[in-house]
Chains A and B, each alone.
Chain A
């Protein structure tokens, strides 16, 4: 079993609120990722990190921000939630390199902004 955890699993929040989605892994992986996925649609990479104090934006533009102060922790923050942010957010980690391409995913956070 993968040791990567996301909290909360479900979140319903009002427009304009600030939220932080938590993601932690205990595998010591350097690389961590955030994806956004609407029901029945493809995964979109929104942020990734290849180590402490490194963060990059992914392929899909997002109003969220991330930080990587510790190897095991990669939180995602929305300063002012809007209904358009309603989606599922998936966190992943890996030791991805040329020969090891297995990423481990958390259970996801389903966010609803009303």
Chain B
């Protein structure tokens, strides 16, 4: 099981780019990296998934270095509505049946 480590919290001003890094030193060869967003009193919502290099969608970018021992979620020009908890997940090898969330990073966007 690849354990993930993220900062507990981050603050950012509106309009800035925010980068949240996740460490996953024990990632397995076949594991994908996934990020979720959770607002208070709601279930998490899928943001982005990647295996290596860079992935971009309409919401965020995901940067994964060659050794894949970490990944960085990049949110361009954040707004107050981006205030949420962001979770980094790495798929379990040998079945991928469990979806286990860590502590996540609480992002506070400041006006």
Contact indicator A48/B42 (Cβ below 8 Å) = no
Q: How long is the Cα–Cα vector from A42 to B91 in the complex, in angstroms?
A: 18
A interface residue count range (under 10 / 10 to 19 / 20 to 34 / 35 or more): 20 to 34
Give the shortest distance, in Å, between A112 (CB) and chain B (any CB).
Answer: 14
Give the shortest distance, in Å, between A58 (CB) and chain B (any CB).
Answer: 7
Contact indicator A99/B103 (Cβ below 8 Å) = no
Within 8 A of A (CB), among B93-111: 96-104
Q: Looking at the complex, which of A12-20, A67-75, A87-95 is the stretch in contact with chain B? A: A87-95
Q: How long is the Cα–Cα vector from A45 to B99 in the complex, in angstroms?
A: 8
Please indicate the chain B residues that have their CB under 8 angstroms from the CB of A48 in the complex. Answer: 97-99
Q: How long is the Cα–Cα vector from A56 to B91 in the complex, in angstroms?
A: 18
Q: How long is the Cα–Cα vector from A42 to B100 in the complex, in angstroms?
A: 10
Given A42-B104, A45-B99 in contact, is the A98-B31 Cβ separation under 8 Å? Answer: yes
Q: How long is the Cα–Cα vector from A42 to B97 in the complex, in angstroms?
A: 19
Give the shortest distance, in Å, between B88 (CB) and chain A (any CB).
Answer: 11
7 A-B pairs with the lowest CB-CB distances in the bound complex, closest first = A105-B43, A101-B34, A102-B46, A43-B101, A90-B43, A50-B97, A42-B103
